[in-house]
């Protein structure tokens, strides 16, 4: 069930259709684009919203992954919030080297693929700004510049 603009806040975990984000325009990513190809995630993918900037209407988010890979870090289980089973089983990892800046309106539009209902929405550290800032700090370490997604 799609999220609303009011749902888009720091800590929200939501599945977004990246094809919709690209079609709408305005989304940026700092994922590496090189000779080996584009490292930006594709298709329906889970994202963790780290920050919402109300004046610009943009939020900063990172893609999430069900398994470890080079450049991924685990989310602390103690900060995962949501109905039982909403997170699935096992660990969840965030990408240190891929941040997205997405218009809030585009998050809403691209969230039609999200299967969760409001009572089962997933969140990560919704009341722990420090935990979200620790993840967001990786943005400043990324060597790739932001570009259109």
82 closest CA partner among 49, 130, 47, 124: 124
How many Å apart are CA 123 and CA 86, to the nearest integer?
A: 10
Closest listed residue to residue 44, CA positions, set 139, 136, 116? 116
Tens-digit pLDDT profile for the chain (149 aa)? 889 999 999 999 999 999 999 999 999 999 988 777 788 998 999 999 999 999 999 999 999 999 998 889 999 999 999 876 778 778 999 999 999 999 999 999 999 999 888 888 999 999 999 999 999 999 999 889 999 99
Task: Please report, for the chain, the start and end positions of each structural domain, with discontinuous segments joined by +.
Answer: 5-140
Q: What is the pLDDT of residue 92?
A: 94
Residue 87's pLDDT is what? 81
Instruction: Tell me the C-alpha distance between 15 and 45, whole Å.
Output: 5
């Amino acid at each position: 069930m799609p999220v609303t603009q009011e749902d888009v806040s720091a800590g929200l975990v939501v599945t977004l259709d990246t094809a919709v984000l690209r079609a709408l325009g305005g989304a940026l990513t700092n994922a590496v684009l090189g000779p080996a190809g584009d490292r930006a995630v594709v298709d329906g993918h889970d994202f963790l919203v780290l920050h919402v900037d109300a004046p610009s209407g943009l939020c900063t988010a990172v893609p999430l992954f069900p398994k470890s890979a080079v450049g991924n870090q685990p989310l602390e289980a103690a900060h995962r919030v949501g109905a039982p089973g909403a997170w699935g089983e096992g660990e969840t990892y965030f990408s240190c080297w891929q941040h997205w800046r997405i218009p809030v309106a585009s998050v809403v539009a691209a969230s039609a693929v999200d299967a969760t209902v409001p009572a089962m929405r997933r969140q990560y550290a919704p009341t722990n700004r420090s935990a979200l800032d620790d993840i967001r700090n990786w943005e400043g370490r990324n060597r790739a510049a932001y570009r259109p997604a």
